[in-house]
Amino acid sequence: MDSVKKAITQATFLTASSVKDLIKEKGFSPSDILDDKESLDRERLIDQAGADAMFSALSDIPFVLEVVGSEGRKHIHQYGEALPNLEGVFGKGDLKVDCVNDVVEGSKAAKLNSPGAMSVMAVSSSKGLMPTPDDCDYMDKLFGPPQLKGRISIQNSVEKNLAEVVKTFKVKPSEINVVMMDRERNASYIEECKKFGVNLILIKAGDFIATVFASTDPKVHGKGVYLVMGSGGFEEGVMAVVAAKALGAACEGRGFSTDPEIQKKYSKVWKVDDMVPGQLEDCLLSFTTITPEKTYFDLEPLTTLTVDKEGVSIRKP
């Protein structure tokens, strides 16, 4: 997998570099005030630059890479059109891998040159990643550090899961950090977390980086115990599960839809191997920051973070 790791990390780096150059060229700023059209036009411009750069980076790779999930396609349900994204089959050779990507994770941050934008790719062996279903844009998620593997579950109540965290780590409820998308669909989770007394961190967009961080060992990063729960993007979920599998973290998922008829199809709780059936040694997550990431890993722009069976590795520009 050395050739795969080299190509994937290069692809996220080149994509992030291209988008960062665009942001600088256009003079995007956190102080910009955008109407709806201007906002969408910027997201489209940013995603197109990212998709073009990633396409070029993968055009001559020495293995076959099939994209089975790309985040931009779900925007057809938000904007009436899919934003530019990377789909298709790339490269040639005997080795075959599957890929889920988000050419610009955090496009809302990127369009204002604000912290939290990055380019992301996750790969595993052929047929080793859950493809994105046509009728389900979101995933109900539960991520936690390796010490909680087998101890927490989506099928449990929020109270039971949090009580297990208290027991395992011997911490107060207020010392548990729970990150969740601030959405109406997560209202019941939010209320239960408030009742338990955790440090609830509600975010407006982009739960991907939080899920990766929650999958790491708090004894290593020293920032306390983190969980991610509630529904967020489907592709972001699958990409984060690749990291969770590599790190041996606690992780479950389930398809989520606001349509009751569609939701009936997604009653099953997915374990790690349901979402990422590929071999552990074939699991790789790579992301390169476009703008700074200061909340979790504390990364400067154009820093590449990888997760595989060897753990977390950070390469500065």
pLDDT (0 to 100) of residue 5 = 97
**Residue 91 and residue 191 in one domain:** no
Phi, psi of 159 (to 5 degrees): -60, -45
> How far apart (Å, rounded) are the C-alpha atoms in residues 80 and 52?
22
Q: What is the pLDDT of residues 122-170, one digit of tens each?
A: 999 999 999 999 899 899 999 999 999 999 999 999 999 999 999 999 9
Is 142 found in the same domain as 123? Answer: no
Neighbours of 288 (CB within 10 A): 28
Of 151, 146, 128, 135, nearest in space to 277 by CA:
128
Q: What pLDDT shows up at residue 84?
A: 74
pLDDT at 73: 63
| Residue 263 belongs to domain with CATH number | 3.40.190.90
Tell me: do 254 and 169 sit in the same domain.
yes
pLDDT digits (tens, 9 = 90+) for 191-237: 999 999 999 999 988 899 999 999 999 999 999 999 999 999 999 99
pTM: 0.95
Same domain, 71 and 142: no
The strand pair at 89-90 and 64-70 is best described as antiparallel
The residue assigned the tokens 């890993």 is 297
Residue 300 CA to residue 317 CA, distance in Å, equals 8
Domain that holds residue 172: 138-276
The rounded distance, in Å, linking the Cα atoms of 306 and 272 is 19
Nearest to 68 by CA among 94, 86, 48: 86
Q: What is the mean pLDDT of the chain?
A: 94
- CATH number, domain with residue 7: 3.30.540.10
Q: Are residues 104 and 194 in the same domain?
A: no
Over residues 99-114, the pLDDT tens digits come to: 999 999 999 999 999 9
Structural domains in the chain (count): 2
The answer to whether residue 79 scores a pLDDT higher than 60 is no
